[in-house]
Amino acid sequence: MDEYTKYYENKVAVVTGAASGIGLALCELLLEYGARTVVMADLNGERLKKESQRLETAYPKKVFAIQADVSMKESVQAMIQEAARFSGGEIHFLFNNAGLSLRKRFDDTTDEDWKFAFDVNFYGALHGIRAVLPIMRAQGGGHIANTASGAAYSPMAEQSMYCATKAALLALTSTLRYELWDENIRLSTIIPGTVATSIWGADGPPPSAISPRESAQGILKGLAANERIIIVTEDDRSGAINAYRPEVAQYMDEYFLKIARQRREGKLGL
């Protein structure tokens, strides 16, 4: 294994959205890298039980599963407290990974849709941060990683809720990174790339999609380096570089307008 994997040895990690996709890949890699305890949290109890039992078989006494709804403050608080009890009072890493893609034309959205979007994609992470901070302060530090998206700086048509929530999460994470720096509590935003997960539905992911394991490897490498924004793929890195450059503004308008028109005609999936 590479040198950076030592960052995770004998550490306790809590991962939300842990029963599938990137979250599950993170859990598997953390265990491979020598984590002492991995706490898996997910809303889907059946899938969580299946995957946690599989990992528990491979890594006895190192896996703990908690069914949790990140859209509910009380559920997140209970999850963190239960995780801390299981791990002897320590949580070194919190991966606020759970989220929804929320594809919908703006005219079709309701205030209830927007509230739900922020409850899951933004407040889920916010509640996790609030709940884990006392634990990290008591132990002298920790690392919080929040999964955003390239859509935070390169927003796509028909994803207004998703893009807005991920942009808010990016801003929150970057702000708290400096507020908490001197307490040895690190914060990083994850831009995981286009990843081949079930989020793509029946049409499947695009050919450029990377595997959840590839994404998780990039995430954990960037986290160990304490990167402010962990951008896993070159496509997302290019998008971040060009998002607000005046000299490419016309190209960006043309690019996003083309996508908007294709989506309006039903030619593009997620």
Beta bridge partners of 189: 146, 229
Known catalytic membership, residue 7? no
Amino acid letter for position 186? R
> Dmax of the chain from CA atoms?
56
Who contacts 94 (Cβ-Cβ below 8 Å, separation ≥6)? 13, 14, 80, 128, 129, 132, 142, 143, 144, 145
Task: List Cβ<8 Å contacts ≥24 apart for 238-241.
Answer: 239/150, 239/153, 239/154, 240/150, 240/153, 240/154, 240/191
Selecting among 8, 123, 153, 162, the annotated active-site residue is 162
What are the CA-CA distances from residue 129 to residues 61, 76, 261, 266 (Å)?
26, 10, 38, 38
Active site residues: 162
